[in-house]
Each structure stands twice: as C-alpha cells, then as structure tokens.
Amino acid sequence: MSRTLVIGDIHGGFKALQQVLERAGVTGQDQLIFLGDYVDGWSESSQIIQFLIELSGKQNCIFIKGNHDAWCEDWLSSGNSPDLWLFSGGKSTVESYRNYTDEELEAHLEFFQRMRSYYVDDKNRLFIHAGYASMHGPEKEVYSSNYRWDRTLWETAVAMDRKLSKDSRLYPKRLLLYNEIFIGHTPTLDIGISHPAHKANIWNMDTGAAYTGVLSIMDIDTKDFWQSDPLPFLYPDERGRN
C-alpha cells in the first residue's frame, strides 16, 4: 500500500536521511515530499543532492525549496558566497562540492532550479518550507522570499488560544485556507519539542537536525512518524550549525 511521507529539514545530514528512510520502511510505491533545506550544516550536503537526484528517478518525489537551498543555488549559478551564508552552514556545503566536475555541478544546479516554492495536494493540504504572509494564500504572496523565510505563520499557530474555534472572527484567516499545512524552517526545539509539532492545523517537521535534534519523516495520513538518531551522534567530529 502506498503512502505519502513528508520529510523535514536535513541540513547536510545524509546519514540521518538514510536512517529515517530505512526506519520508515520506504518503498518505491511511496510518495515523498521534502520540505527543503537539504544543505548547510553537516558535511554531506552534495551527497544528499546527488542521492535525491537519483531517488527522483525511481519514485514520486516532490522537492520544496528552502532558504538554504536558494543560497546554494545562487552559489552554484554565480559563484557568489555571501558571508551570511558561509556562517550559516554554507562553508560545509562548499567543502562538500570540492571534487565535483563542472558537469556534475551543472546537474545539481538544474535540480535546485526545478524545486517548487510550495505544493498543494488534492486534499487541500499545503506543503511549504516556511510560510506566507498574504491573507489570500501563497499564490497571492507579494514577496516570494516569504515562502522560504516567513515565520509569522508558525508563530501565529503557536500563540493561538487552543479554545478558539474555526468559526470565530478571531481565528487567523491564513489558517482557514488549507485543511492542513506542513512546514519546516523553524526548529521545534525552539518550543521544547523534539518530534513533529502540531499547532492549529500546522505540522512543523523541522525537529532540529541542523543542531542537536533529529531528522523526522511522517505519514501525512496516519501521522505515524520515524526519527533518526540525534545528528551530533551521527557526526561526532563535526559541529553542524551549533
């Protein structure tokens, strides 16, 4: 039986990705939706991209673009490596590409360029890296960078009164647009949670793999989830984004 599985921010942790795919028992019949930030942090960013390119040839995959992916795409395209990116994990990504040929770099650039800003399935579930500010949804977003950077959507859900009903005039209009919203970008560790966090109708899948947390994968229908070992245990000689 096929499933749809959603995967949070990986940040160069290829070992963690391999673990969760194995622990979830992923088969070629499953659809995989990746929420972005594949690179920057641990040492295997380029290996992740190569693996995902090959994986997409075997099964149905949807790749959302994160803010770190946009930085890496710009570097692959122009050679531009701003200090902010290098300080935010980009240095390890550049180092992981040290022995790649021009043809391989071009193939990876094309992969980044094909990534989606967001995806809506046939059950009106939104998959996006960060969020959106428009009350009319991401398709009406004025600043496309919000797809990769916005935190206000998640912050709104976290701060909401749990007793607030959807028919209340106070209920955030942005949250009424979709049955469910799946995001990454803001680690759940920030609110003391180490597993996929559910607030209002939002599921946050970023369980801190870039830092001291784990990588998570979840069945979007059953809400069963699987997690890797903490990334510092998988890469004991590295710092990630810590």
Residues 30-39 have pLDDT tens digits of: 999 999 999 9
Model pTM?
A: 0.98
Asked if 178 and 126 count as a contact pair (C-beta separation under 8 A), the reply is yes
Which sequence spans correspond to the domains of the chain?
4-233
Q: What is the pLDDT of residue 19?
A: 98
Alpha carbons 33 and 158: distance in angstroms, whole number: 23
Whole-angstrom distance, CA of residue 140 vs CA of residue 117: 13
CA 192 to chain centre: 19
The yes/no answer on whether domain 4-233 falls in CATH 3.40.50.300 is no
Contacts for 131-137 with beta carbons within 8 Å, 24 or more apart? 131/183, 131/185, 132/174, 134/174, 135/173, 135/174, 136/177, 137/174, 137/177, 137/178
pLDDT digits (tens, 9 = 90+) for 187-222: 999 999 999 999 999 999 999 999 999 999 999 999
- The band of 1, judged by pLDDT with boundaries at 50, 70 and 90, is confident
Q: Taking 90 as the threshold, does the pLDDT of residue 48 lie above it? A: yes
- Angstrom distance (rounded) from CA 5 to CA 32: 5
List the structure tokens of 26: 């992923």
What would the pLDDT profile of 97-149 be if each residue is shown by its tens digit? 999 999 999 999 999 999 999 999 999 999 999 999 999 999 999 999 999 99
Share of the chain above pLDDT 70, in %: 100
